[in-house]
Amino acid sequence: GAVVSQHPSWVICKSGTSVKIECRSLDFQATTMFWYRQFPKQSLMLMATSNEGSKATYEQGVEKDKFLINHASLTLSTLTVTSAHPEDSSFYICSARERTGDTGELFFGEGSRLTVL
């Protein structure tokens, strides 16, 4: 099946710094990518929907200035956690959809674990 890759798979940073996580679709063009956050023993929570060439749509309660999402090409979306704090420590997962519309299957990245000290 299609492959979605995230980088880095884990990152440790100091409080107050910014961290960028990349999500790439390796063998298909993704018009839409999704970013999720997963806390330990909890379900994946959708943070935002990213459409290539346009602004991301954030879910209620997600700070758009805190979690900057850029989807500049059909194969790459980035999530930047700005001025990270320990409460931002989490597992971040992206997914990508191959076709336009609502019928394309979602393919998930391996996830990126962020630890803020």
Partner 1 sequence: GDSVTQMEGPVTLSEEAFLTINCTYTATGYPSLFWYVQYPGEGLQLLLKATKADDKGSNKGFEATYRKETTSFHLEKGSVQVSDSAVYFCCTGTASKLTFGTGTRLQVTL
CB-wise, 75 or 95, nearer to partner 1? 95
> Is residue 89 helix, strand or coil?
coil
Q: Name residue 80's beta-bridge partners.
A: 20, 68
User: What's CA 57's distance to the chain center, in Å?
Assistant: 12
CB-wise, 3 or 117, nearer to partner 1? 3
Count the site residues for partner 1 by CB under 8 A.
Answer: 23
Contact 3, 107 (CB under 8 A): yes
> Is residue 88 helix, strand or coil?
helix
Minimum CB distance to partner 1, residue 6 (Å): 8
**Residue 71 contacts partner 1 per CB under 8 A:** no
Q: Which of residues 18-47 bind partner 1 (CB under 8 A)?
A: 32, 41-44, 46
